[in-house]
Amino acid sequence: MAVVSANTTVMNNVEAVRATLYDALKSDERVCILGEDVGARGNVFLITKDFVGEFGERRIIDTPIAEASIVGIAVGMAMEGLRPVAEIQFADFIYPSFNQIVGEAAKIRYRSNGEYTCPMVIRTPYGGGVRGALSHSVSIEALFYHVPGLKIVAPSFPADVKGLLNTAIDDPDPVMFLEHKKTYRLIKGEVPNGHYTIPLGKANVLKEGTQLSVVSYGLYVHWALEAARQLEGEGISVEVIDLRSIRPMDKTAILQSVEKTRKLLIIHEDNKFGGIGAEISAMVAEEALFHLDAPIRRLCGPDVPAMGYALPLEEEFMSSPAEMADAMREMVKF
């Protein structure tokens, strides 16, 4: 990390996660972290390196390889007034904890008629582009997107990582915090010093445009932005929106953009069928159909069970900046 001014520090995404967690532990005794290898090893990405020495084993808790227990214990901690951050080492391992997330954490407030809340964060790295194959490349957002009572965040930039993670820790209800592992060290940026928050449900218009609206999140935001900037040289004006918060979603930002450009392309890495893009498509069709000059298009992962290890298989699954640029050209020409 490099301090560039009295007000900001340059970090990559993984450094932003580490710094935010450290500050939260330092400032609030209720915050604790639990998960596999978060203690002595300091997390597989070294996010919690040396935390256990400073904060102790009661707050930095190494758990067995038992994801259902990690989340279930965090639910109990949250209901008793703590602010647990439960780490699932990779999103691909989250399935055993599904019932604790969906059947317990997401329903605590509703089933207790507001008597209890469940202020916990479930952090996990997701996504491909790292040759992780079947067990280290999955996108899980659509599996949980259907669940009322659960919030889902997927930041793309270091400053958003810090602001949104602070918000997630402060939130009285469970928040899933998805970190695209490909962006951990790839993406760098200036991060404001000190404590700040970014509200959930507020998208970020990264680039304004007039001919096409592109909505994305995670790694693909960076690639979509690269493609859109490339097309500027061809006289094509593309607006790029980073959702940041998947649920709640900033419907207003999407609709305002579509009403201006009259065309919509949704890009995400997760499978196309039943994905986030399907919900955005339905929302725009219901609320802005007569503003559209072209059919809505989704550029997403194919309907195969997993991403292959072999590089050609991984590249076939993922959409490249060049493929995104081609899709943008086709939409504008429609």
Residue type, 130: V
Answer yes or no: is pLDDT of 167 > 70: yes
Long-range pairs for 17-20: beta carbons < 8 A, 24 or more residues apart: 17/47, 17/123, 17/161, 17/165, 17/179, 18/46, 18/47, 18/48, 18/49, 19/162, 19/191, 20/161, 20/162, 20/165, 20/166
- What is the CB-side half-sphere exposure of residue 256 using CA atoms within 13 A? 10
Does 291 participate in catalysis according to the annotation? Answer: no
Question: How many residues does this entry show for the chain?
Answer: 334
Q: Are 225 and 204 within 8 A, CB to CB?
A: no
User: What is the DSSP annotation of 134-183?
Assistant: GGS----HHHHHT-TT-EEE---SHHHHHHHHHHHHH-SS-EEEEEETTH
Strands 2-3, 8-12: pairing is antiparallel
Q: Which of 3-12, 88-97, 182-191, 198-207 has the lowest mean pLDDT?
A: 3-12
Alpha-carbon span 298 to 275, nearest angstrom: 10
Confidence of residue 4 (pLDDT cuts 50, 70, 90): low
297-331 per-position pLDDT tens digit: 999 999 999 999 999 999 999 999 999 999 999 99
Distance of CA 216 to the CA centre of its chain: 11
Alpha-carbon span 252 to 243, nearest angstrom: 11
Residues sharing a CB contact under 8 Å with residue 319, sequence separation 6 or more, in sequence order:
220, 223, 267, 269, 299, 300, 301
pLDDT of residue 5: 65
254-290 per-position pLDDT tens digit: 999 999 999 999 999 999 999 999 999 999 999 999 9
> Which CATH fold topology does 204-333 show?
Rossmann fold (3.40.50)
pLDDT of residue 224: 98
pLDDT of residue 1: 67
Confidence of residue 133 (pLDDT cuts 50, 70, 90): confident
The answer to whether the Cα torsion of 30, 152, 39, 192 is positive or negative is: negative
CATH, domain range 10-192? 3.40.50.970
Answer yes or no: is pLDDT of 111 > 90: yes
pLDDT of residue 215: 98
pLDDT of residue 287: 97
Answer yes or no: is pLDDT of 3 > 90: no
Q: 145: closest CA among 28, 43, 42, 277?
A: 277
Alpha-carbon span 249 to 244, nearest angstrom: 9
All structural domains of the chain with their residue ranges: 10-192, 204-333
> 19: buried, middle or exposed (CB in 10 Å: 19+, 13-18, 0-12)?
buried
**Sheet of strand 188-192, all strands in order from the earlier edge strand to the far edge:** 2-3, 8-12, 188-192
Domains 10-192 and 204-333 share a fold: yes
pLDDT of residue 2: 65
Catalytic residue, from 136, 180, 222, 268: name it: 136
Alpha-carbon span 334 to 329, nearest angstrom: 9
Q: What is the token pair recorded at 125? A: 């790295």
Q: What's the mean pLDDT in 17-31? A: 98
pLDDT of residue 6: 75
Q: Are 301 and 270 within 8 A, CB to CB?
A: yes
Q: What is the mean pLDDT of the chain?
A: 96
pLDDT of residue 309: 92
> 312: buried, middle or exposed (CB in 10 Å: 19+, 13-18, 0-12)?
exposed
182-231 per-position pLDDT tens digit: 999 999 999 999 999 999 999 999 999 999 999 999 999 999 999 999 99
pLDDT of residue 217: 98
Q: What's the mean pLDDT in 33-45? A: 96
Q: Are 209 and 237 within 8 A, CB to CB?
A: yes
